[in-house]
Every structure is written in structure tokens, then in C-alpha cells.
Amino acid sequence: MSVGLGIFLSTVVIALVLFYRFTQDRLNWKKIIRSIGLALGSLMLMGAIIGTGIFVYNTVKSTPSKQFGYFDLKIGMSMPEVQYVKGDPTNVLEAEIKDGGQAVVPVNALKQGDKIENYWFWAYELNDGLRLDVVFDKKTKRLLEIACYSRGANECPPLLGISDGTNEDDLVAKLGHPTREKMDGSAKVMDYDKLGAHFYLTKKQVYMMTVAEK
């Protein structure tokens, strides 16, 4: 405490004592003190309520919520709606699985009369190493899955605060432990079912992020 502040506080205390001595016979000090105490108690209670409200708001705000969209797309969109937002895909995948995989067909190589609406898996090659994949329901042709694949880092839009290139430890620190995780060759899949999000990692780093209706 500085000397100046000490002198000021001492002066205030002395003034209050003198004021009490000269007015104790004329003022109801018990009532005054009780009123001041009630006022201070009310202020403290109000401050506690406001503080609790701010804490709850910040907690709820920072809690991850389930994702229903990603990359400017929303789960449940129709094929024309996806085309409206993203245009025609670069490639489509054959529905039939052969030799453990599906044939990739460039859209500009489709046979005459064939349409992209006949395929339920579309891929958008956005730049070197960055790809957007969308998967539709085979019957309703409504969007079921939105995925961003990247060979680099910080190329995909963040998902729940996670970017491609994020370390596995940082992912768990941000979102907690996944609903399940499984190995797929040299890659690991970490599913967060309650958040509708799924992350694919290799060498302990995220390289693909997915929002899916599962």
C-alpha cells in the first residue's frame, strides 16, 4: 500500500468515527447498519448470480456440439443442392466394388447419356492434394457424408476446431476420447458419434475429416 493511499484511508476512517460520535443520538444507527448490510448482501448475491451465469454460458459455449454440416454443405441436401453449392464433381465412383475397390471415373469421361446423378459417390479435386468427397444415400439420393482429404496441413476447413495436420494428442485434448477407434492398415479412424464427426490419422496426424449421418 502506498503512503498516499494509507493517509486517504485513515482520513476516511477518522471521518466516519467522528460522524458517528456527533450523530449517534440523532440517527438510528442500528437501522442504518442493518440497511447497509442488506444492501451489501444483495449486491454480493447479485454478483454471485451474474458470475455463475457467465460461467455456465462460457461452459456451454465451449462445449462441442453435434455437426450437421461441413464445407458449406449440410447433411440431407439433395444432389441438385450440392451441385448448386459446389458445381459438378471432378470424379464419380462406380457403385460396384471390384477387386476390393470402386472404379474412379472422371466426369468428363462419362459415356454418352450417363449422368453424375447415377452415382452416389462424388469427388471434387480442389487443388493438388486437397479433395472434397460427398456420399449420397443410394435410394433417396440425399447427402449422407461430407469428407475433406488433404495431403498437407491446414488446407481443409476446421472441424470442431480441428484442422488437418492436427496431432492425435491435441485432438483428444480438444474433443476428449472418441466413441471408438480402429486401425485401417497404416491409418487410424477415430469416431465421435455424438458429435457426428470422424477423423482419419496417419503418423499420428489428421489427414481427413468427415461429418456423416451414422
> Given pLDDT bands bounded at 50, 70 and 90, which one contains residue 59?
very low
Instruction: Note the pLDDT of residue 153.
Output: 82
Dig out the grid coordinates for 210 from the structure.
Answer: 468427415
> Given pLDDT bands bounded at 50, 70 and 90, which one contains residue 129?
confident
Instruction: Note the pLDDT of residue 58.
Output: 46
Strand partners, 192: 197
Reported as a single tens digit per residue, the pLDDT across 26-52 is: 666 566 667 666 666 666 667 666 655
Mean pLDDT of 117-140: 93
Instruction: Note the pLDDT of residue 52.
Output: 55
Dist. CA 74–CA 122, nearest whole Å: 15
Dist. CA 194–CA 183, nearest whole Å: 20
Dist. CA 132–CA 149, nearest whole Å: 6
- Report which of residues 30 and 202 the model is more confident about: 202
Q: Where are the domains of the chain?
A: 3-62, 69-212
**pLDDT higher than threshold 90 for residue 203:** yes
Instruction: Note the pLDDT of residue 144.
Output: 97
Instruction: Note the pLDDT of residue 64.
Output: 81
Question: At CB < 8 A and 24+ separation, what contacts does 95-103 make?
Answer: 95/119, 95/120, 95/121, 95/138
Dig out the grid coordinates for 63 from the structure.
Answer: 462445449
Dist. CA 164–CA 94, nearest whole Å: 27
